[in-house]
Amino acid sequence: MLELLTPPPADPLWELAAAFGADARPERLNLVLGVYRDHTGATPVMATVREAEIRLAEGSASKEYRGLSGNPAFNRAMLSTVLGTDDLTGRATAIQTVAGTGALRLLAEFVGRTRPGATVWISDPAYVNHRPILEAAGLVVRSYTYLDAEGRADTAGMVHDLRQARRDDVVLLQGCCHNPTGVDPSPDAWDALAELAGRHGWVPFIDLAYHGLGDGFEADLHATRTLAARVPELLIAVSCSKNFGLYNDRTGCAIVLGPSRHALRHVETSLQNIARTLYSMPPEHGAAIVATVLGDDALRAGWRTELDVMRGRITANRADLVAGLSALGCGREAEILAQQKGMFSTLPLTADHMLTLRERFAIYGTTSGRINIAGVSAHRIPYLAQGIAAVLGAVEAPVPAA
């Protein structure tokens, strides 16, 4: 068997992370993986998360199996938090998953079992894992236009392409803080997409991984709630990795919204059956933390405050980078970055530029230009700006600084 195994391609993000780990240069900058880092460069445990963990430890909860749907209190909290109103939660069901990626795969399998060989549309560019997850579920993947030549959301291009989507096709949309671009459609554009989905009958599939890190928690849920209120069916993959800092606890949720409670009667069992064949049941710890935080008024308020602080630091990092690039004569590039939000930004650089950044200046981003703006310490922003300007030929090479 093993002699028949051909060399598989390495995961591009983790390959870059490994290269960074082997780089001994003190000035190196790791902007590859999507994790939040504070001003010291550490990825902290949120204070409210730590308090919830203490309460759970003191309660000595059983380690008994929770069941295929996971933690019921977590699922109820996710429905309420994401959808907001009884009108929407009343026609939705949710099960806990192995992070947002697990929710994406679970819902992709759900689509494949209800409509084998269905077509799913993804943005161009898209999150690097979207296509592999969908194709692994046996789905056909097509792309729709997302950005214009100036790096802005191309609403006209999106609508033009998605007019080709057939009834019962699925369209994957990122609810906020688009990965990899950092560019989101306007509220008017979301209205246009909701109208188009309702008229043409395709099913929106929302990837919701960064809510709270863009314009604010409620604002970042606007697009998801707009679609939920205006279409009969909606799929939502939710991640708690970023906004709760539960990266290695793998905490997520799959939500299915239908036209009525009656229409959902077979959904949870169908999702459970899929989960049983993929991972059986999800881990409890992260879900118990989220349920504890969201179920306590003081903890929930404290968590929202911490999330606002994180969002403020990300916003300040981007503003500082924009200012730095402007001061170095890279006005066009600064203008493009200024339109972006959330953890990620896509630098208006070529693959060769990104290779030069890595080889000459130890600045690690993806070949597509994506960087994790949430992963830079504030005092390193000038070095990053100088490196970008240098590969564009605007300034001399920056002086390395740890």
pLDDT one-digit tens code per residue, 28-61: 999 998 899 998 888 999 999 999 999 999 987 7
Please state the φ and ψ torsions of residue 250, each to the nearest 5 degrees.
Answer: 50, 70
Q: How confident is the model at residue 135 (pLDDT cuts 50, 70, 90)?
A: very high
pLDDT one-digit tens code per residue, 235-282: 999 999 999 999 999 999 999 999 999 999 999 999 999 999 999 999
What is the mean predicted confidence (pLDDT) over 8-32? 89
Residue 228, token pair as written in the block: 């939920």
Q: How confident is the model at residue 212 (pLDDT cuts 50, 70, 90)?
A: very high
Report yes or no: 213 and 342 within 8 Å, Cβ to Cβ: yes
Strand order, beta sheet including 234-239:
92-98, 251-257, 234-239, 203-208, 170-174, 119-124, 140-145
pLDDT for 249 equals 96
- All structural domains of the chain: 11-44+310-391 (3.90.1150.10), 48-295 (3.40.640.10)
Separation of alpha carbons 124 and 111, rounded Å: 21
Mean predicted lDDT score pLDDT of the chain: 94
If one compares 287 and 19, the residue with the highest pLDDT of the two is 287
pLDDT for 400 equals 60
